[in-house]
């Protein structure tokens, strides 16, 4: 019965953190989706670290499912990519997707090994 509460509490704080990072990044990089890139790369690392840490189930629900589920964003990544494609910003969209996927996988791997 506690599991939904852990996810909800983690999700609240994850969403608030994502909002703060997105606003901060938008002021620094108005023409590139830096906020989404930061939250997705940081989330990849932290989720990898959590997976490797041997955290308890409650911690995984609170931080992994709740916080990271709300902090990271797959749908925004896709929408921003589509917008760049519509504007024919090919170099930017390729760099964005490459950084997100290649660095994200590497950071998840690194986080996992550092968590162990």
Q: Does 1 or 85 have the greater pLDDT score?
A: 85
CA distances from 67 to 58, 61, 62, 63, 99 (A): 12, 8, 6, 5, 22
Report percent pLDDT > 90 for the chain.
Answer: 99
Q: For all residues of the chain together, what is the average pLDDT?
A: 96
pLDDT of residue 1: 81
pLDDT of residue 99: 96
pLDDT of residue 88: 98
Q: Could you tell me if 76 and 36 are in contact, meaning their C-beta atoms sit under 8 angstroms apart?
A: yes
Among residues 112, 106, 100, which one has the least CA distance to residue 40? 100
What is the pLDDT averaged over residues 102-116? 97
What is the pLDDT averaged over residues 3-14? 98
Q: Could you tell me if 52 and 115 are in contact, meaning their C-beta atoms sit under 8 angstroms apart?
A: yes
Q: How many domains does the chain have?
A: 1
What is the pLDDT averaged over residues 75-92? 97
Biggest distance spanned by C-alpha atoms of the chain: 49
By residue range, what is the domain housing residue 83?
A: 3-115
Residue range 22-65, pLDDT digits in tens: 999 999 999 999 999 999 999 999 999 999 999 999 999 999 99
| pTM of the complete model | 0.92
């Amino acid at each position: 019965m506690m599991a939904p509460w852990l996810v909800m509490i983690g999700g609240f704080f994850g969403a608030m953190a994502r909002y703060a990072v997105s606003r901060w990044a938008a002021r620094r990089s108005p023409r590139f989706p830096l906020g989404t890139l930061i939250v997705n790369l940081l989330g990849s690392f932290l989720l990898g670290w959590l997976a490797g840490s041997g955290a308890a189930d409650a911690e995984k629900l609170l931080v992994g499912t709740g916080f990271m589920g709300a902090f990271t964003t797959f749908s925004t990544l896709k929408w921003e990519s589509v917008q760049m494609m519509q504007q024919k910003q090919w170099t930017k969209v390729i760099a964005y997707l490459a950084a997100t996927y290649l660095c994200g996988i590497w950071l998840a791997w690194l986080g996992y090994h550092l968590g162990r």
